[in-house]
Amino acid sequence: MTPAPIAVALDAPDLETAARWASLVTPHVSTVKVGLELYLRYGPDVIASVRGASGVQVFLDLKLHDIPNTVAGAARAVSRLRPAFLTVHAAGGAAMIQAAVEAVPHTQVAAVTVLTSLSEGDLGRIGLAGPAGDAVRRLAVLAVSSGATALVCSPHEVAAVRAEVGPDITLITPGVRPTGSDSQDQARVATPEQALADGADLLVIGRPITASPDPGATAAAIAASLRRTTG
């Protein structure tokens, strides 16, 4: 059975918990996501621990954002870990994105457009011309023209981004919440089924799976629901 196109966010308090969650969900999902906190705490060891013997794809979500030379150096530093995806902030600009792409030829650089925690009011306060959908589309086009082969956007913008960039770019959507889940600190959310229907390729789901009593069973149930919807 093909694993579901889900990246489980392993936002764990320690390495052992992250590895346990990964082992429970990897029979059912294609990808596990290692974020900034876990990577800064444990470094490269965390990648081997969550990958285990399964060979599951690792999504290294570091959201690099600095001058091009620094981002290139940081990307090269993690390239030996062979993550399937590495995130950078699209707002870092064309030269920065291109530098990351050139530094990790075996990894898909995923450009983060507008964080799912940001509301319309937040965009205005940080000086980013909105509405959110327009800002996301502008950053998506910039990133793809700079060599990014994947984009991170909320489920609310995925259909418009897909129309803008075409079928060959991998669209990754955080802010995915199964029906009945708390939206927590995400401002722009959707169900897994809706996100896939709108054109997403990979769904980022964290706490609805990892905070459940049985993460493996929850991942399996969501995967089965997606197969029913898309099959």
Active site (catalytic) residues: 63
Q: How far apart are CA 42 and CA 191, in angstroms?
A: 32
Q: Which of 161, 51, 38 is nearest to 111 (CA)?
A: 161
Q: Which of 220, 230, 231, 167 is nearest to 6 (CA)?
A: 220
Distance of CA 63 to the CA centre of its chain: 10
Q: Which is it for the CA torsion 133, 135, 139, 142, positive or negative?
A: positive
| DSSP string across 2-52 | PPEEEEEE---SSHHHHHHHHHHHTTTEEEEEEEHHHHHHHTTHHHHHHHT
